[in-house]
Structure 1
Amino acid sequence: MTDQDYTLTSPLLNPHVEARPLMAVTIVWHPQQARIGEQYVAAEAGSDIELSRYAPLFWRPDGDGLPLDHVGISRHPLRLARDAVDNVVLTLPASRMLVELNGQPIEQAVRLDAKQIAQGQVLTLGRAIVLCVHWMNRLPAAHAMPGMVGVGSAAIAVREQIALVAPTDMPVLLLGETGTGKEIAARAIHALSRRRNTRLVTVNMAALNESLAMANLFGAAKGAYTGAQAERQGWFGEADGATIFLDEIGNAPASVQPMLLRVLEGGDYRPLGAARDRQATARLIAATDQQLDGTDFNQALLRRLEGFVIALPALRARREDIGVLIVHVLESQVWRGALPVDFVTALACYDWPGNIRQLVHIVKRAALQLQADPNADLRRLIPAPSLVGTAASPRAPSPPSVPVRKKPSDLNDQDVLNAMMRHAWTIQAAAQALGISRPSLYKLLERHAEIRPAHAIPVDELNVALAACEGDLTRCAAMLKTPVEPLRRQVCQLRQQDGVG
């Protein structure tokens, strides 16, 4: 049992709703970056979902619905069938589109239980679009709240709680693992409060010097201690009429905890060495990543801090939000390109022990590396030791392991051909499977006896193949034995010249 299981908080925190959740699919990555974060939510708890190029329509709360609409996605549907006990059977489409579940190619139907869906299941279709299948217990809602980015139920619930408590002066306790965004939530509460035009005074309680903690927090009279040559206001004084955020409250020195309790109970405190009390007018927000109940922490203080509790979910519990979080980070970077799909899939499947903070650091490093080298191997940015279970596991999903690097000279033509066929003629995926770099695979392809460069394929032959494959470039690439990425560029170029249908 955790603190939030039995503390006073919003009924929205852990709604004990008897109704079954709705099955939802969120776009984690799309070649059109503006589509990331769009969702399709099944109309009823028992509804199945069929995913194809043209259906269903994915929506934003404030926009129009659009299909996935990408040539790499099959016209034939991939079906997600839900049974009475919330197991979901994923049935592949009647096409050659590559389907990956949690970073692993699948070739037959897969059964997922309700717990696996709750942890988010990552689908990568045609090496082009990344989706997350998950539950929703509330309808999608816009996230116009400073810093609080997310489209899933967990993110929406946190924003609802912030909007509810922000206009009040109630003390708020933010709970959550390190890196889940507790300070961002505190800033959002302050920004939506009546005190928004005042300061937010932030204090890291873990960094307080125990001997000076009382003076730092509550101020001190002149001469109250050695070196106190003038009166000291203290952080509570600085936050008069404003908001004070006590981060890492679980590390508050034991000596200051009774005074914090006094502030919350009576609204007054006495600076160190002062002759009279002062009235505290600061609104208090605290945060911790610790379970404080039953510990040495002052339990009466804990009960006072729990005026309103908001639990921030771990990133692994809101996998559907990873795409919009990536976009949010990239908006602040100089580099403006698109991340490789295989890297985004790996990000969506990772377990994130450091939560959002860790994701932000890795995405920023990826942007820097791509700015310097467009062919950089970004998968090495993701720490391997924290990768988690496979698609068949009830635990959270994971990407495939990174293969051992090989020398291109160790590979023959059949090795290369087999890798391209197994990975839907996608160069990046085949290179990873072979354990070589993408530039090395390009060189092997150039001198391969059977694999043809897209620009060398006659236009008439290309038109015949496109018609036979109904415009599906993945199937077309397999028919023509050519990599799908150059083929896509060639088709686009010829269409601009009206040379291909």
Structure 2
Amino acid sequence: MSVSRSSLLVVDDEQNIRRSLSMILGGEGFEVLDAATGEDALVRLAKGGVDAVFLDVMLPGIDGLEVLRRIRESNSEIPVVMISGHATIERAVEATRLGAFDFVEKPFSRDRILVLARNATEQARLRREVAAGSGTEELIGASPAMERLREQIDQVAPTDARVLLRGESGTGKELVARRLHRLSRRANRPFVKVNCAAIPEELIEAELFGAVKGAYTGADADREGRFAAADGGTLLLDEIGDMSMKAQVKVLRVLQEGEFEPVGSTKSLQVDVRVIAATHQDLEQNVRDGSFREDLFFRLNVIPIEIPALREREGDVKTLVEHFVLEESRRHDLSMPLLTPAATQLLQAHTWPGNIRELRNVIERIVILHAGGEVGPQQLPTEIRGEVVRGSSAPTVSSYTDLPLREAKEKLERDLIGGALDRHEGNVTRAARDLGLERTHLHKRMKALGIER
């Protein structure tokens, strides 16, 4: 995501903090404004043009929580990241209830600040798009994995090279394909999708290449195929691994020669189509098994792009949750529910085997069942609540209310890691996969938290 047009307001009475944040954020291309008091901050915000705010809790005059309250009373949905040197969990909860985007403690790290800034400005952009009724085809998230994916797409899209999208079910392969089309020279031409797994084998050829009247039982008129419909544009062959061998032969010919015959016809038709294929299968294994043509695989696999699983996208779950709450509330014309910090932590800890599709379904359910209400751990689906600690109830805010914020976060992290290790009987590799972490990183966190297994 480009940050060159994103403007951030830093509000802190300590000049060194304002200078430090300005250097960190400005060095990454953000425009940084600052204010030393809550009163000055409100005046600056009233002028508009600010995408997100870093707001100190302890300020002279009106404090940060009061500033946050006034921002929300003015009907502003601008993301606000609260800053504190000595916060308690109660204060963090209060800030969240008032609509804070997140909470960061002093001393803060450069990486943490940049992640928060990217996620906050991304959320601001998403809110604007949802309000305008757009954004449904955007790739959401500011994690390193998504930044790399966008860079790869932006590099490949302007060319006519064929692309093979690979990734687990529910990761958003169609969204990637649509972005490739939208950024290509074919953007004003058709984008056509065909799901090879959803069409019966005996009909896939007619679906792809069309058919003439009388070609088969029920063919009462000439039928245009998907290749012809996509002429000049882009054709997405989704779940290409499920295509029949007979259809594979005809697809290979189109890729080689740019022409095909409709079913029942001897007349060749020429087309100019960019083909993007997508699959969750191991096509190399399919080639070895004899269920997928090797020559077709090589033709399709010009530019392979791997779509990251949601568990590999650090920090993106929170952004996606915010986006889907907004979008589903708007779609169903319902008041938005408020997720408590504990509920958000559980959503972030879930491994999401169904990826974005699973997350969206869960959020839609929450929006419908708890419109306008507060959503804590007990309102979440059992499969999410049950992941934290086997055999015990999920952690709630009350489990940590007597602890300073840093200690509360460490306790929650210890509980999450301990629960994953319990579920996998001490197997660190499986626990790391469950938590969406690298094995080496989990070892480091276990050592830092004093967890021995």
**TM-score interval w.r.t. the shorter chain?**
0.5 to 0.7
In the alignment, structure 1 residue 64 sits paired with structure 2 residue 59: no
AA partner of residue 187 (structure 2): R
In the alignment, structure 1 residue 198 sits paired with structure 2 residue 189: yes
Three-state SS of the structure 2 residue aligned to 1:231 is coil
Q: Are the equivalent residues in 2 in contact too, given 1:240–1:282 (CA < 8 A)?
A: yes
AA partner of residue 165 (structure 1): V
Hey, what does 2:431 align to over in structure 1? Answer: none
Hey, what does 2:70 align to over in structure 1? Answer: none
In the alignment, structure 1 residue 291 sits paired with structure 2 residue 282: yes
AA partner of residue 348 (structure 1): Q
Hey, what does 1:443 align to over in structure 2? Answer: none
Q: Deviations over 1:361-383 (max 9, x none)?
A: 22222233331543665553261
2:234 paired residue among 235, 239, 243:
243
Q: Could you say which structure has the greater relative contact order, defined with CA pairs below 8 angstroms and 6 or more residues apart?
A: 1
C-alpha displacement of 1:353: 0.6
AA partner of residue 212 (structure 2): A
Distance 1:209 1:54 in 2: 63
Alignment of 1:296-311 (within 5 A): 296-311=291-306
AA partner of residue 293 (structure 2): N
C-alpha displacement of 1:345: 1.1
Alignment of 1:182-331 (within 5 A): 182-295=173-286, 296-331=291-326
Q: In structure 2, do the counterparts of structure 1 residues 360 and 220 end up closer, same or farther at CA, with 3 Å as the change threshold?
A: same
Alignment identity in percent?
A: 33
Q: Which runs of 5+ in 2 are unaligned?
A: 1-6, 11-16, 34-52, 60-83, 91-101, 126-134, 416-453
Three-state SS of the structure 2 residue aligned to 1:310 is strand
Distance 1:315 1:235 in 2: 31
1:165 paired residue among 135, 156, 161:
156
Q: In structure 2, do the counterparts of structure 1 residues 245 and 182 end up closer, same or farther at CA, with 3 Å as the change threshold?
A: same
Distance 1:418 1:347 in 2: 17
Three-state SS of the structure 2 residue aligned to 1:246 is strand
Hey, what does 1:409 align to over in structure 2? Answer: none
In the alignment, structure 1 residue 357 sits paired with structure 2 residue 325: no
Q: Deviations over 1:160-195 (max 9, x none)?
A: 111112122211111111111101111111111122
Three-state SS of the structure 1 residue aligned to 2:304 is strand
User: Which one has the bigger helix percentage?
Assistant: 2
C-alpha displacement of 1:214: 0.9
In the alignment, structure 1 residue 178 sits paired with structure 2 residue 169: yes
AA partner of residue 289 (structure 1): H
Alignment of 1:100-499 (within 5 A): 146-295=137-286, 296-332=291-327, 333=329, 334-336=334-336, 338-371=338-371, 373-374=373-374, 377=377, 380-381=380-381, 383-384=383-384, 387=387, 399-400=388-389, 403-404=392-393, 421=402
Q: Are the equivalent residues in 2 in contact too, given 1:218–1:237 (CA < 8 A)?
A: yes
Three-state SS of the structure 1 residue aligned to 2:214 is coil
C-alpha displacement of 1:204: 0.7
Q: In structure 2, do the counterparts of structure 1 residues 291 and 63 end up closer, same or farther at CA, with 3 Å as the change threshold?
A: farther
TM-score by length of structure 1 reads: 0.53
AA partner of residue 241 (structure 2): G
Q: Are the equivalent residues in 2 in contact too, given 1:346–1:379 (CA < 8 A)?
A: no
Q: Are the equivalent residues in 2 in contact too, given 1:140–1:153 (CA < 8 A)?
A: no
Which has the higher Rg, Structure 1 or Structure 2? 1
C-alpha displacement of 1:238: 1.1
Q: Deviations over 1:248-274 (max 9, x none)?
A: 111112220111111111111111121
Hey, what does 2:447 align to over in structure 1? Answer: none
Q: Are the equivalent residues in 2 in contact too, given 1:335–1:368 (CA < 8 A)?
A: no
Query: Which stretch shifts more, 369-378 or 267-276?
Result: 369-378
Q: Are the equivalent residues in 2 in contact too, given 1:369–1:376 (CA < 8 A)?
A: no
Distance 1:192 1:287 in 2: 18
TM-score by length of structure 2 reads: 0.59
Q: Are the equivalent residues in 2 in contact too, given 1:201–1:238 (CA < 8 A)?
A: yes
C-alpha displacement of 1:356: 1.3
Query: Which stretch shifts more, 289-298 or 333-342?
Result: 333-342
Q: In structure 2, do the counterparts of structure 1 residues 303 and 350 end up closer, same or farther at CA, with 3 Å as the change threshold?
A: same
Q: How big is the alpha-carbon RMSD for the aligned residues of Structure 1 and Structure 2?
A: 4.4
Distance 2:204 2:399 in 1: 66
Q: In structure 2, do the counterparts of structure 1 residues 419 and 328 end up closer, same or farther at CA, with 3 Å as the change threshold?
A: closer
AA partner of residue 284 (structure 1): V
Hey, what does 1:451 align to over in structure 2? Answer: none
Q: Are the equivalent residues in 1 in contact too, given 2:166–2:279 (CA < 8 A)?
A: yes
Q: Are the equivalent residues in 2 in contact too, given 1:319–1:348 (CA < 8 A)?
A: no
AA partner of residue 298 (structure 2): R
Q: Deviations over 1:284-316 (max 9, x none)?
A: 111101111032211111111112111111111
Q: In structure 2, do the counterparts of structure 1 residues 237 and 55 end up closer, same or farther at CA, with 3 Å as the change threshold?
A: same
Distance 1:322 1:270 in 2: 46
Three-state SS of the structure 2 residue aligned to 1:364 is helix
Distance 2:313 2:383 in 1: 20
Three-state SS of the structure 2 residue aligned to 1:206 is coil
Q: Are the equivalent residues in 1 in contact too, given 2:338–2:372 (CA < 8 A)?
A: no
